[in-house]
Amino acid sequence: MVKLSFPVPNMFALVAIALLGACGPPGDSVGGVAITQVDSAGVTLVTISGDVSDLPEWRLSELPLTVISGNEAPFLSDIGAVAFRSDGRLLLEDNRSAELHIFGTSGEAIAMIGGAGDGPGEFRNLTALTVGLGDTVYAYDRRLSRISVFGPAGGLLTMISVGRDFAGPGTVSLDAWGLGSDQFVVHSMGPPDSVGSASGPRLEQRPAQLDRLDSTGEARGDPVRFSGGLSTVGQRFDGASPFGNPSLVAVGSDRVVRGSGVEYELFVTASDMRTQSITRWPGWRRPLEESVVQVVRDSIASRFERLPQVRPERVTALLEAMFAPDLVPATLPALGGALIDDQRRIWVSRFQPSTQQWSQEDSWHVLDASGRPIARLPLPSRTRLAAVRDDRVALLMRDEFDVQHVRVFDIVRGP
């Protein structure tokens, strides 16, 4: 062992320099939210403190620019993925019919892509949608583990098979997006870490993985592994806990944002998957109150009660399984989802239990490309932010009859 010694004055100087370096430049603020930023080994570390309500507020234009009604042809019944094209047209995916629809800027239906099936250009469970250069469309089908690539007019160009266990035995390929002009990002969930060491249903933070594929489906570079969201393990019912969250992944034209969503910690990476910045905002996890648990339970029970020929004893057994003590955490995850727009801004939402996902008012805020907060955007109740392009947002909304509609608004920035 080599023992190093320094004169006492030099040691104090080294400690002082280290402390100054760790602190970085003086912090600044946006509204009432404080920001501290330091650089470490080429990675920008952003730490935020304060309440999100203190960020400058953006708002929606008084009237929508586009209205797409679910009770008019083509009668969208279960809207999933939504994406803007470069010309302002919208792509909407209907989960129930397994179809992609193209709508004009006035809300008129222009074309339909796909349909239910296993054949070329057909879908079983479309979960991710990307619009690339030249309005090329990349659609990922989770059940078929397949990326379908369509031209701007809707014609099928090619298909890329990913494979359900692409990332290894016991993994599941959840989503895939186009990245740039010749790459794809595949998001997989790994098997639980505690297999064989514990029994019974429980919430567990499962591992997640991101892989880059080239245009032929071959892996490029090393995978990026990280801690995923909270998932149910060992359950004996069909469905996840309403208090768990999936891994948080958002893909833009030249960057990827990832995180577990359990804590507020976002990693921004370049298209080669090298980390550029990390944003942390402590204090976002909230205690899960018993009143919230009861509201969620009652909501799920009422859904089953409305179904015909459902036996009450089976509903009771299902609820007992879903709300077993090990599946009800003491605190809720921090984040629910993220989007990256064409200006490289990052849109982030607070986690809500599954039955509250249509009540996200004040839950979205905006970070710039380096992960620094800019503003927040309050939304009307019973609304979900579906897509962002330029200074326009597409909102998925429900009316009093539970019919889904899509409306596009301009963003009006405050002073």
Q: How far is CA 163 from CA 46, 62, 141, 361, in A?
A: 37, 46, 11, 38
Confidence of residue 3 (pLDDT cuts 50, 70, 90): very low
- pLDDT over 70 (residue 343): yes
Under the banding of pLDDT at 50, 70 and 90, the label for residue 198 is low
**Phi-psi category of residue 62: left, alpha or beta, with phi > 0 → left and psi -120 to 50 → alpha:** alpha
Q: Is the pLDDT of residue 5 over 50?
A: no
Domain architecture of the chain: domains with CATH: 26-287+334-413 (2.120.10.30)
Confidence label for 356 from pLDDT (cuts 50, 70 and 90): low
Q: What is the pLDDT of residue 239?
A: 59
The span from the CA of 37 to the CA of 342, in Å, is: 24
Q: Please compute the mean of the pLDDT values over residues 181-210 and round it to a whole number.
A: 81
In the predicted model, what is the mean pLDDT of residues 297-316?
A: 82
74 upstream amide cis, omega within 30 of 0: yes
Q: Closest Cα partner for 251 from 189, 339, 127?
A: 339
d(Cα 345, Cα 348) in Å, to the nearest integer? 10
pLDDT, mean over the chain = 86
Q: Write out pLDDT tens, residues 371-398.
A: 999 999 999 888 899 999 999 999 999 8
Binning pLDDT at 50, 70 and 90, where does residue 415 land? low
Residue type, 194: S
Mapped onto helix, strand or coil, the DSSP state of residue 246 is: coil
Residue 196 confidence (pLDDT) above 80? no
| Per-residue pLDDT tens digits for 205-241 | 889 999 999 998 899 999 999 999 988 887 665 557 8
Please count the other Cβ atoms lying within 10 Å of the Cβ belonging to residue 231. 20
Task: Using pLDDT thresholds of 50, 70 and 90, give the confidence band for residue 20.
Answer: very low
Q: Is the pLDDT of residue 246 over 50?
A: yes
